[in-house]
Amino acid sequence: GQQLNQSPQSMFIQEGEDVSMNCTSSSIFNTWLWYKQEPGEGPVLLIALYKAGELTSNGRLTAQFGITRKDSFLNISASIPSDVGIYFCAGQLGPGMHSGYALNFGKGTSLLVTP
Amino acid sequence: DVKVTQSSRYLVKRTGEKVFLECVQDMDHENMFWYRQDPGLGLRLIYFSYDVKMKEKGDIPEGYSVSREKKERFSLILESASTNQTSMYLCASSSPQGFGYGYTFGSGTRLTVV
């Protein structure tokens, strides 16, 4: 599988600030997903994107599927302390091959929010 | 609430031991996956299975094997544990019908090999 390039690697921000992170790939994907992992837990799905150019929101979170299908970004507005965690992007190729169901992950963005 | 359950949260094993990590899902999912997570390296796919008794190698299968005798259970086996296999291991499942909805992950097993 392909490792995605996710940046930044870590962010240390104050409560109330907006956050932006992004993910790029040298290959196209048919689905982009964003996960959050809290300490001691497995990743949990935040947002899924299915179409190039798609912009999707989930509360204070907004994500976009890049028009080239090779990138995606996630924005968090007005951050709060419970936003702390590691955020992962993931790309999925699609059906047609069993390996198409496997997710390719970025290395994660570690977010720390101070009150 | 649907779940992926990993049998142990923490394990400490000795070098050379045979180690079994168990994962059970209650969602009747066809696909199951094993990842390892290391700081700075993200999640790397070890093996996955798309049906009972079927398995495919991921990106880092060396030193590992898997077993899927029943649809709900996917086991990761470290044939002879080594210190470089100290890591967080994450199991996940998904359904082909739910393609694009990603995975459901377990809470992870933190394995230390001494």
**Taking a C-beta distance cutoff of 8 angstroms, is the pair B77, B9 a contact?**
no
Distances (CA, A) of B17 to B63, B79, B80, B83: 12, 7, 5, 11
- Per-residue model confidence as pLDDT tens digits over A1-41: 677 999 999 999 999 999 999 999 998 988 899 999 998 89
CB A10 within 8 A of CB A113: no
A40 touching chain B per CB within 8 A: yes
Write out the two tokens for B36: 């390892």
Q: Which amino acid is at A71?
A: D
The band of B6, judged by pLDDT with boundaries at 50, 70 and 90, is very high
Q: Is the dihedral of CA A74, B41, B94, A24 positive or negative?
A: positive
Least Cα separation, residue B85 to chain A (angstroms):
18
Kindly determine whether residue A31 and residue B100, on different chains, have CB atoms separated by under 8 Å.
yes
Q: CB pairs below 8 Å between A and B: how many? A: 72
> pLDDT of B27-75, one tens digit each?
888 889 999 999 888 899 999 998 898 999 999 999 999 999 999 999 9
> Scanning every residue of chain A, which has its alpha carbon at the shortest distance from the alpha carbon of B47?
A102
Whether omega before B39 lies within 30 degrees of 0, making that bond cis, reads no
